[in-house]
């Protein structure tokens, strides 16, 4: 069935390949989001023939001014980024994962509406190591010293703490190949999950050591996405190159609660920030989709096919329905999405049956 309930509000062509979008979760800046870029630059005059460069783009949307690019920061190539769920010292904080094993921490200056680099941290690994994913420990809990979980291209999962600086706490070796994703179980952040190119979906409990307490082998290809549900205890989701979205009860990891075949390979899964019953799925060459999980059988209830070349990034806006109504067209949600080689960023309005 063709679903046409996701309509483009704005589009933007990025200079570099686009691979991640993240909306600010905090008032008064829920109309802001960041788009991250990753570009291989050929160097014809050197034997070291390529460099990985990136840009961090800060955007706003407004009913009168539309989509505005507020800031461009030249960086190393970026693979993932996440806003801290809670403000820290009254600032919105963004963590950025990049090449050369770096994690950068930015704060949003509310007066200038610009991102300012606060701190940087280099993972203790070989120079070519890439930091592939990030998550914050603040999905449910308010913490004075929040933790950041990141995964890398050597199969490791690193635990950092943000205090006066960025401090390393622990490293877990989880996967033989790239650890594409790592995430906290928000209800108890002693528990962490990771997924790798070895098709393993691992669960760790920091209280009992550095070895995984469960090794799930249900995925038929690399595990690329994970998100803990902040409203329903024990519920988490995973996605894979095998094109399936899976729901899990973390107490019974042998068999998934539910599974849905998608139109393409999964890269990112995000619970909606309102009811936490819908998943936004970036399916690479298979489009961007919204999945309803609040029934016996999961189903796709919204689809977006404007991206022609590897949709890596997608995220829900935190703008409430009343604010979304101010923008053109039908719909109670606003999302953004981006794709790689066509360098396309889109902001769209989603209309779902109530």
Share of the chain above pLDDT 90, in %: 92
Q: Is the pLDDT of residue 16 over 60?
A: yes
Residue 155 domain flag: yes
How large is the average pLDDT for residues 168-190?
96
Residue 83 domain flag: yes
How large is the average pLDDT for residues 204-220?
96
Query: Domain tally for the chain?
Result: 1
- The tens digit of pLDDT for each residue in 269-320 reads 999 999 999 999 999 999 999 999 998 899 999 999 999 999 999 999 999 9
Q: pLDDT value at position 49?
A: 61
Residue 1 domain flag: no
**CA 62 – CA 318 distance, rounded (Å):** 14
Confidence of residue 160 (pLDDT cuts 50, 70, 90): very high
How large is the average pLDDT for residues 169-198?
97
Q: Which two tokens stand for residue 332?
A: 């109670």
Q: Is the pLDDT of residue 174 over 80?
A: yes
Q: pLDDT value at position 198?
A: 97
How large is the average pLDDT for residues 250-261?
96
How large is the average pLDDT for residues 188-192?
97
The answer to whether the beta carbons of residues 229 and 236 sit under 8 Å apart is: yes
**CA 91 – CA 244 distance, rounded (Å):** 37
Q: Which two tokens stand for residue 165?
A: 């600086």
Q: Which two tokens stand for residue 113?
A: 């509406």
CA distances from 261 to 126, 143, 240, 283, 354 (A): 37, 37, 10, 11, 24
Residue 19 domain flag: yes
Q: Which residues pair with 58 in a beta bridge?
A: 34, 71
Residue 279 domain flag: yes
Q: Which two tokens stand for residue 24?
A: 């600010």
**CA 312 – CA 81 distance, rounded (Å):** 12
How large is the average pLDDT for residues 164-180?
94
- The tens digit of pLDDT for each residue in 330-351 reads 999 999 999 999 999 999 999 9
Residue 183 domain flag: yes
- Plot region of 49 (φ>0 → left; ψ -120 to 50 → alpha; else → beta): alpha
DSSP assignment string, 214-259: EEE---SS-EEEEEE-SSSTTEEEEEETTSEEEEEETT-TTS-SEE
Query: What mean pLDDT value characterizes the chain?
Result: 95
CA dihedral 245, 134, 28, 333 (to 10 degrees): -10
Residue 150 domain flag: yes
Q: pLDDT value at position 3?
A: 65
Q: pLDDT value at position 1?
A: 41
**CA 331 – CA 329 distance, rounded (Å):** 7
Give the range among 95-99, 137-141, 192-196, 350-354 with minimum mean pLDDT.
350-354
What's the CATH number where 147 sits? Answer: 2.130.10.10
Q: Is the pLDDT of residue 228 over 70?
A: yes
Residue 90 lies in domain: 6-350
Confidence of residue 47 (pLDDT cuts 50, 70, 90): low
- The tens digit of pLDDT for each residue in 81-94 reads 999 999 999 999 99
The answer to whether the beta carbons of residues 65 and 38 sit under 8 Å apart is: no
How large is the average pLDDT for residues 230-256?
97
How large is the average pLDDT for residues 160-182?
95
**CA 210 – CA 128 distance, rounded (Å):** 24
Confidence of residue 242 (pLDDT cuts 50, 70, 90): very high
Q: pLDDT value at position 46?
A: 55
Residue 323 exposed, middle or buried by CB count within 10 Å (0-12, 13-18, 19+): middle
């Amino acid at each position: 069935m063709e679903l046409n309930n996701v309509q483009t509000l704005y589009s933007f062509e990025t200079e570099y390949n686009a691979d991640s979008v993240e909306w600010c979760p905090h008032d008064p800046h829920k109309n802001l989001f960041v788009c991250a870029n990753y570009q291989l630059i050929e160097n014809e005059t050197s034997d070291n023939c390529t460099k990985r460069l990136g840009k961090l783009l800060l955007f706003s949307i407004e009913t009168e001014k539309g989509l505005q690019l507020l800031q461009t920061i030249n960086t190393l190539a970026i693979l993932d980024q996440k806003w801290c769920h809670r403000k820290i010292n009254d600032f919105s904080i963004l963590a950025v994962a990049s090449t050369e094993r770096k994690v950068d921490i930015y704060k949003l200056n509310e007066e200038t509406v610009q991102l300012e680099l606060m701190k940087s941290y280099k993972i203790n690994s070989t120079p070519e190591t890439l930091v592939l994913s990030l998550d914050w420990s603040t999905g449910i809990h308010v913490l004075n010293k929040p933790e950041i979980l990141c995964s890398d291209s050597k199969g490791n999962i690193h635990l950092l703490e943000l205090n006066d600086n960025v401090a390393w706490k622990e490293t877990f070796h989880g996967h033989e190949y790239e650890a594409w994703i790592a995430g906290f179980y928000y209800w108890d952040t002693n528990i962490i999950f990771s997924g790798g190119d070895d098709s393993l979906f691992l669960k760790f409990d920091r209280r009992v050591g550095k070895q995984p307490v469960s090794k799930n082998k249900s995925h038929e290809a690399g595990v690329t996405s994970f998100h803990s549900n902040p409203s329903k205890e024990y519920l988490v989701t995973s996605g894979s190159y095998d094109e399936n979205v899976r729901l899990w009860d973390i107490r019974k990891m042998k068999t998934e609660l539910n599974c849905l075949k998608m139109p393409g390979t999964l890269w990112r899964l995000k619970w909606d920030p309102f009811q936490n019953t819908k998943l936004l799925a970036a399916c690479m060459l298979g489009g961007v989709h919204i999945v309803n999980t609040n029934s016996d059988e999961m189903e796709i209830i919204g689809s977006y096919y404007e991206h022609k070349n590897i949709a890596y990034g997608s995220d829900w806006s935190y703008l409430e329905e009343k604010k979304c109504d101010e923008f053109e067209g039908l719909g109670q949600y606003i999302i953004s999405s981006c794709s790689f080689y066509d360098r396309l960023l889109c902001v769209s309005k989603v209309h779902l049956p109530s």
